[in-house]
């Protein structure tokens, strides 16, 4: 079961795609039942696959070579994501473990040498775990500027007070990167007087309390935590990047991150598509396989179109970003289009599987709630639809016209 | 927070609606956080509410008075369902606990006096629990006739072999009602030689093995079980109703059951609608409450229309059934329309709630996966859409015309 | 081809429905090809049918008996509309000719005895034709208050200046009822100082110029006219109703009118449905009739649901209005839901007919553009969706809750 | 108002795009009101623009240089179509007049030297007009093999009998290319014994009768004709290509033609988008321009996504075809996706324009019925959705997998 090289794509990227596919097809998907159950049986399987991934030079596509990663560019990583996402278990086995991976990238970009030594290296080696503490229950998640958690500079320390939730991995984490609001050093004309800063906070800091695990989709024992910060004190050198860079860092995370997320969704759509097609060819119902039923044929045709559209839009957006163009409108477009297409494709695949489709025996149920969550995470559809329109109006007002987007 | 009587509806039904609403509003919804958490804290709360329900004469609307129930008719029960369903915790607190409640109705209708004494009475008193074992992993759930589990008569015993899954409550149950295929006593011309029979099987029967809990929507510790029956032997008198009545009994369960399910969905839609409206009036975003945003106004308007359409179609169908008319086309119509409308309404309510909407802090996430499941349970959308069309064609071929459905 | 009486509906209404159906089925639909072609051949056919309608006492359901009409109530007229609308040629043959019929109702309600004698009687007898001049090219049609055409009182005359379009029937009309803005006699606190008045304007008044026929859906020779009013002078007694009643009169026209429009749409949907079903049973394609194809079965099932939902919502709204309840939210709901459902049903019927469906050989193409127009006429979908939401919020703020709409 | 070159596209193609855009923007769109009205005033305008197009070397992109055309490749023509389609009046002014242009291409590919001299040259010079007679009222238009019109070889003549409709341009045409069924010379095992042949038939042939103009979308005076062929005799040398090539020729016409049609639709979508954006920025409603309303912002965002998806899918398909790949699945995909996206975009643009949107004062109303027609012409959506699914199944059965389409 091999995929073909994409004509016109750099050989290196095609090579990464094909070798990643081989591992996902040969090693990970066959092991999914064990990996889903988890526990002791899964441990050696995971270890063996990780070893193989490292031997193949496919470990940690998000990290530079000097930190043990692949050191590949944006496009290669995006295309690799599509292939990895055929299985929900892949990313972790290729060394990309959220939220650690995102934190690693932030530390790489904004961290001082001391910070890298103290927090990044143990995070990469696995000696430490981390979390990213941004979303707040009382504010629209879509707007980092609405954040209320406040850091006040007192002498050599930051004093942090605030209320966060959906801080994933908090119970396992050794430190959090906390998005805070703080006073701007020098007031700038016409700007709000506050600015954003990210601060590294050890989880055992006095005043940091994990209130509970927020149950998500009914899973009460997850690790998406609600946390209160009450007069939490950390040294000033724990600020990540200069004061004021917090917003840019978050956007950064969200910007390229959105393309990566979309490529993940597209990979998952291919998997759902494959399951739907395979099921249709094998499942007998009243007088024939599902393959012969127009409703199922329609599901497959519509899903093919959804995947093609989602994929071409995402790749086009990635290409524009890679060439340094202004992709903001297209990033919002894929942020809206791809999760919705993902949801439709998985919905059809579930319908073709019947009761099996909502069980844990396939990855479909998880994809379905995952796709739904994507429609509101990192800015809900509505916010991004407004952004698209505003960019169009701006383009027109600057003298542009219907060449928009060509 | 009171609802108004519906003009034209029997006083008794309106009275039940209003008194049920009072309990749901005053007792159950305020207790939802405790009930969601469950455990020891919830126990006295549940007990107190049940006591109050019984005092109010609203216990067990599905049972006749002689068995401690309300002894109400079909319409009253349907309307009561709508109100109870405002909270996902209501049904159980009003004495309607699936799958026991469905089994109680089957035992009432098909059971002998001995069977009622032995199985129904302890089921009602709470001394026993039960499960209903119909769905099979290897067959389309939508067609009871495709069932492969076979019961063979050997002397005074049935010998049962088969493979079931999605048998809910199996681990707590004392007995199962098992849907089986068996040989027809006398072959009838032009009919398949097999027929269906429901058999009562104690859970501790040798040969009955609970293989596992099927994880549903990722919940690995549920009680929807996969069960194998290997040479399981029970006395002949455990057959429920005459041999051949199994299919009718299942249809029965599904027929009126579909109206009840739809009324449940409609009640849940009202709740989601209420949460969406309330949230829209209180949540501040960029420059105003959500109430002032056209996208949210659109969500509310579309949901209002969805609920009106779903509700009027279901009530109309219930009325036809109550008057003894042929409601088969309309049952299929609501079976398709209502879960889809339910899903749309909840989807919008989730979007208005953001991250809160997929958490366990509201009933929305559970409603969402519940609505999705309804689109494939008891016959997927596709099967019922075909049934509607076939009924239309049949009507035309019998000389009918566009008066269809008026 | 007879329709059945609707249980629970007044005998008189059922009687009207059935006798109307007989005429539409037996006389009008068989004559459609001739009526579509028009010209000399159609004249005697039209005359004969009109004669028969009058004999049957079914002429002019919108007029009181003293003016030669049926003198029936709101519900009877609404139900009769559904049946008449099976053919696009019916209304005219039953004496309901827009815009004359609407103008007749306005003259009946607001006209003085002199006005009735001078304008209403000849309009009913057929000696005069009329038009209704409200929509303006420079203003949102959905808001009567945005109208710019101004009437100024000068001595015994109104002097009218303005710019209208979509004034249907203008070339054949003897007079127009023109919606104007005028100064309020006494300024009321907190209200805009202008108010609305309807004025009867003879078409041959100096200053009234028919600029052109606005081509609609590409039909360049229609009679939807663009008209300029330049210092047009008419006697003060040509004001219809007291100054200030204009807005109410327009709302009136639009209010009940929306229910009538919806019943028309529903009748047309039944016709499209009937054509689709009949075609599906007779049309052979690759290996079978269309009836056996799931896509077509899906079209029929979805259309059945669309019609049921549209119909039950409209009838429910009519019932509330008939009982004097506040139906504003439901009027907006059907104003949005029914044309959209109409469009979907016709769209599917066209698809089942292929090239025939967009030809003039069936009424489908006309229904399709008609349905599309309805989505923006009398207030576009967007305006009514906002109104629904605002009514819901108002209800909640007045202490209401999720009983809304029950 | 200029469009930008597309990065990565051949300079020649970008050059054609930009120069075409200049003519459409500067000459054609400003002249639309005159061109819409037609008649004498339009004649000199048309002549002048055609002259300019010829001077610019942009005349007849579908013809080789030796016949006075541009002699450009497939991709250049496709991209040029997108730009031309900004105005519905362009194609004719660039020398691409359906159905003559399609007939010219068939004559070029299949015609003998004599046929080219006799029919092609006068068709190109404008001395002759032509029509293409394929669709039949009694058969599914989507399947050329279902054609019933029969040509029988009698000596040196073909004798043709059949019934066609939707033969456009028939009243102005000097000859028709008629798609016929005929006996295969030598029966081949396992194949139907008939085959297809295209025959050139002069319109004045005895036995050829134009029955009527089929009214389309209510336009009764169009030139889409219904034609009967009764013992129509033409010389054997009028067969176009060898007997049996008819089906391939039709597919040919439909194959590349579908990409051209889609590029036309995309150009029209850009125009509708442009009109919607411009209107939104200028139209005042209750308290602001439409630009500030979320509903309108949503329309624009969704249309942007529709256009991007349609455009990228079509260009990708064209690229595969241009490189000689198997694009059949993707041709079906764009055949379904693009007209539907076109319809949605125009629908929104109409809604933003209100009553103006259904008038002849903008091209929107024509686009709307045009888009609807495209969903059933050249094979309805349903047929192409089945084709997509069947291609997917074929791919899987040949050992392919979810790399499908990458």
> Rounded to a whole number, what is the distance in Å from the CA of D8 to chain C's nearest CA?
40
Strands A130-133 and A175-183: parallel
Judged by CB atoms closer than 8 Å, whether chains meet at B377 and A369 is answered as: no
Torsion sign across C-alpha atoms A195, A196, A201, A203 = positive
A63 contacts A54 by C-beta, under 8 angstroms: no
How many Å from the N-terminal Cα to the C-terminal Cα in chain D?
Answer: 36
Terminal alpha carbon distance of chain C: 36
Question: How far is A288 from chain C, CA to nearest CA, in Å?
Answer: 14
D354/C365 touch (CB, cutoff 8 Å), yes or no: no
CATH architecture of A11-96: Orthogonal Bundle (1.10)
Residues of C in contact with B330 (CB under 8 A): 308
Alpha-carbon distance A298 to nearest alpha carbon in chain D (angstroms): 6
Q: H-helix or E-strand containing B109?
A: helix B100-110
In angstroms, the separation between the Cα of residue D114 and the nearest Cα of chain A is 43
Angle value at C-alpha C123, between C118 and C126, nearest 5 degrees: 125
Nearest CB to B218 within list A140, A217, A373:
A217
Task: Compute the distance between CA of residue B254 and CA of residue B102 in angstroms, rounded to an integer.
Answer: 10
B184, pLDDT greater than 90: no
- Contact at CB, A393 and D277, closer than 8 angstroms: yes
- Residue A273's SS3 state is helix
Question: In the predicted model, is pLDDT for residue B345 greater than 50?
Answer: yes
What per-residue confidence (pLDDT) applies to A143? 67
Average pLDDT over residues B184-193: 56
- Predicted local distance difference test score (pLDDT) of residue D187: 43
Instruction: Please report the DSSP string for A90-130 in residue order.
Output: HHHHTT--TTHHHHHHHHHHH--HHHIIIIIHHHHHTS--E
Test mutation, B285, B288, B291, B294, chain D, max D CBs within 10 A: B294
Beta bridge partners of B161: B150
Fold of D248-397: Butyryl-CoA Dehydrogenase, subunit A; domain 3 (1.20.140)
| Inter-residue contact B88 to B268 (CB < 8 Å) | yes
Interface of C with A (CB under 8 A): 293-295, 298
User: Phi-psi region for residue D224, left (φ > 0), alpha (ψ -120 to 50) or beta?
Assistant: beta
Chain A nearest-CA residue for C294: A294
CB-closest option in C215, C358, C380 to D360: C215
Residue D6's pLDDT band (cuts 50, 70, 90): confident
Q: So what's the pLDDT on residue B103?
A: 95
pLDDT in tens, A109-136: 999 999 999 999 999 999 999 999 999 9
- Residues B306 and A85: their CA atoms lie apart, in Å, by 36
Distance (Å) from the C-alpha of residue D319 to the closest C-alpha of chain B? 37
Cα B140 to Cα B138: distance, rounded to the nearest angstrom = 7
If one compares A74 and D246, the residue with the highest pLDDT of the two is A74
Which sequence spans correspond to the domains of chain A? 11-96, 130-243, 248-397
Residue A3 is predicted with a pLDDT of: 81
Any chains having at least 3 CB pairs less than 8 A from chain A are B, C, D
Name the neighbours of D, counting chains with at least 3 Cβ pairs within 8 A.
Answer: A, B, C
What pTM value is reported for the model? Answer: 0.95
Judging contacts by C-beta atoms under 8 Å, the chain B residues touching residue A343 are: none
Are the Cβ atoms of A298 and C295 closer than 8 angstroms?
yes
Of the CATH numbers 2.40.110.10, 1.20.1560.10, 1.20.1440.230, 3.30.70.1450, which one belongs to the domain with range A130-243? Answer: 2.40.110.10
Task: Please count the residue pairs, one from chain A and one from chain C, whose beta carbons lie less than 8 angstroms apart.
Answer: 10
> Average of pLDDT values for D50-69?
96
CA distances from A214 to A157, A218, A368, C392 (A): 30, 9, 19, 32
Q: Specify the range with the lowest mean pLDDT, choosing from B66-80, C244-258, D353-367.
A: C244-258
D214 within 8 A of C357, measured Cβ to Cβ: no
- On the 0-12 / 13-18 / 19+ scale of CB atoms within 10 A, D82 is buried
Say whether pLDDT at B187 is over 50: no
Task: Give the mutation candidate from A403, A404, A405 for the D interface (greatest D CB count, under 10 A).
Answer: A403
Calpha distance D344→D350 (Å, rounded): 10
User: Cβ separation of D354 and C373 shorter than 8 Å?
Assistant: no
What is residue B227's three-state secondary structure? strand
CA-CA distance, D308 to A333, in Å (whole number)?
A: 9
Please give the span between the terminal C-alpha atoms of chain B, in angstroms, as a whole number.
Answer: 36
Out of C354, C366, C376, closest to residue D351 by CB: C376
Confidence of residue D37 (pLDDT cuts 50, 70, 90): confident
From B127, B69, B124, B72, select the one nearest B100 (Cα to Cα): B124
Mean pLDDT value across residues D64-90: 95
pLDDT at residue D192, rounded to an integer:
56
- Asked whether the beta carbons of residue D405 and residue A313 sit closer than 8 angstroms, the reply is no
Q: Which of D137, D217, D350 sits opposite C358 (nearest CB)?
A: D217
ipTM score assigned to the predicted complex: 0.94
Contact pairs from chain C to chain D, CB under 8 Å = 117
- Cis before residue B39, ω within 30 degrees of 0? no
Q: In the beta sheet, which residues pair with residue A162?
A: A229
The alpha-carbon gap from C296 to the nearest alpha carbon of chain A, in Å, equals: 10
Which fold is adopted by the domain D130-242? Butyryl-CoA Dehydrogenase, subunit A; domain 2 (2.40.110)
For tokens 């599987």, the residue is A353
Task: Point out the residue among A300, A329, A332 whose CB comes nearest to the CB of D389.
Answer: A300
Q: How far apart are CA C30 and CA B66, in angstroms?
A: 61
Can you read off the two tokens belonging to residue D269? 């979508």
Q: How far is CA A6 from CA A82, A305, A315, C49, D394, in A?
A: 13, 19, 12, 69, 21
Q: Is D27 helix (H, G, I), strand (E, B) or coil?
A: helix
Three-state SS letters, C55-112: HCCCCCCCCCHHHCCCCCCHHHHHHHHHHHCCCCCHHHHCCCCCCHHHHHHHHHHHCC
Residue closest to A101 by CA, chosen among A151, A147, A67, A75: A67
Local confidence pLDDT in tens for the 406 residues of chain C: 468 888 888 999 999 999 999 999 999 999 999 998 888 999 999 999 999 999 999 999 999 999 999 999 999 999 999 999 999 999 999 999 999 999 999 999 999 999 999 999 999 999 999 999 999 998 766 566 688 999 999 999 999 999 999 999 999 999 999 999 998 764 444 455 678 899 999 999 999 999 999 999 988 777 899 999 999 999 999 999 877 777 677 676 667 889 999 999 999 999 999 999 999 999 988 778 999 999 999 999 999 999 999 999 999 999 989 888 889 999 999 999 999 999 999 999 999 999 999 999 999 999 999 999 999 988 899 999 999 999 999 999 988 776 654 5
Return the closest-CA partner of residue D28 out of D81, D77, D94. Answer: D94
Whether residue D358 and residue C215 make contact (CB cut-off 8 A), yes or no, is no
Distance CA C83, CA C81 (A): 5
Alpha-carbon gap: D288 to the closest alpha carbon of chain B (Å): 14
Predicted confidence (pLDDT) at residue A250 exceeds the cutoff of 70? no
Q: For testing the chain C interface, which of A288, A294, A299, A352 should be mutated: the one with the most C CBs within 10 Å?
A: A294
Which of C7, C271, C312 lies closest to B402 in CB terms? Answer: C271
B269 membership: H or E segment, kind and range:
helix B246-282
pLDDT of residue A1: 47
**β-pairing, A157-168 with A175-183?**
unpaired
């Amino acid at each position: 079961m091999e995929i073909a090289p994409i004509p016109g794509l750099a050989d290196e990227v095609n090579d990464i795609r094909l070798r990643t596919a081989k591992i996902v097809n040969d090693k990970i998907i066959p092991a999914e039942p064990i990996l889903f159950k988890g526990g002791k049986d899964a441990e050696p399987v995971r270890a063996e696959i990780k070893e193989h991934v490292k031997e193949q030079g496919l470990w940690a596509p998000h990290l530079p070579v000097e930190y043990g990663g692949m050191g590949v560019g944006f496009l290669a990583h995006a295309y690799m994501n599509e292939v990895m996402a055929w299985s929900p278990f892949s990313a972790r086995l290729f060394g990309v473990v959220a939220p650690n991976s995102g934190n690693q990238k932030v530390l790489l970009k904004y961290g001082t040498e001391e910070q890298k030594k103290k927090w990044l290296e143990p995070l990469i080696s696995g000696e430490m775990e981390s979390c990213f503490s941004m979303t707040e229950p009382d504010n629209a998640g879509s707007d980092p500027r609405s954040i209320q958690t406040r850091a006040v500079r007192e002498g050599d320390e930051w004093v942090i007070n605030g209320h966060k939730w959906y801080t994933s991995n908090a119970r396992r984490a050794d430190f959090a990167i906390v998005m805070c609001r703080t006073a701007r050093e020098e007031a700038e004309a016409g700007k709000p007087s506050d600015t954003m800063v990210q601060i590294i906070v050890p989880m055992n800091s006095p005043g940091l309390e994990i209130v509970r695990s927020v149950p998500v989709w009914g899973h009460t024992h997850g690790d998406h935590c609600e946390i209160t910060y009450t007069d939490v004190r950390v040294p000033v050198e724990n600020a990540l990047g200069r004061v004021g860079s917090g917003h840019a860092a978050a956007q950064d995370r969200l910007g390229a991150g959105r393309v990566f997320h979309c490529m993940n969704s597209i990979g998952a759509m291919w998997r759902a598509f494959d399951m739907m097609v395979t099921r249709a060819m094998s499942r007998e119902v009243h007088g024939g396989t599902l393959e012969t039923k127009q409703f199922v044929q329609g599901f497959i045709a519509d899903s093919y179109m959804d995947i093609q559209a989602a994929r071409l839009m995402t790749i086009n957006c990635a290409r524009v970003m890679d060439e340094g163009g202004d992709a903001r409108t297209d990033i919002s477009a894929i942020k809206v289009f791809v999760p919705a297409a993902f949801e439709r494709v998985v919905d059809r695949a579930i319908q073709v599987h019947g009761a099996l489709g909502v069980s844990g025996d396939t990855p479909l149920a998880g994809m379905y709630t995952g796709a739904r969550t994507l429609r509101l995470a990192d800015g809900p559809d509505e916010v991004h639809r407004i952004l698209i329109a505003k960019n169009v109006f701006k383009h027109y007002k600057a003298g542009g016209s219907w060449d928009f987007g060509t």
